[in-house]
Amino acid sequence: MMGAGELAAIAALGNPGAEYQMTRHNVGFWVADALAARSGVRFRSERKLHGELARVTIANHPVPILKPMTYMNESGRSVGAFCAYQKLNLEGLLVIHDDLDLPLGTVRLKRGGGHGGHNG
């Protein structure tokens, strides 16, 4: 079990479908796929979560990763179901998404906060 403030789960945001695969909106999916490949696991469809789920190991801890298969602006439905299913304390949830205010490839880590004008 992880302590307060430690990484418990990842929600990696993006849009489903081949037409969106290489768009910056899918940066969350890119990171999730890289983590899964590094751990040698695959995502599987989880209908009740409206997404795909994989369990990776980070720093010797199992960490579930969700890729919502809703579109970006509907991702809250999937992430909400994921949090309920995992019984998550939101402080342990890392959300990976694009930020149009930052150049592509720039990473910003932020604890807490709201939607920042994002519709998802």
Q: How far is CA 23 from the centre of its chain?
A: 16
Planar angle of CA 41, 46, 51, nearest 5 degrees: 90
Catalytic residue among 25, 50, 61, 115: 25
Let me know if 25 is a catalytic residue. yes
With CA atoms as reference, report the closest residue to 72 among 12, 9, 10.
12
**What length is written for the chain?**
120
The CA distance from 95 to 57, in Å, is 17
Q: What is the dihedral of CA 65, 111, 89, 47, to 10 degrees?
A: -30
Task: Report, as residue numbers or ranges, the catalytic residues.
Answer: 25
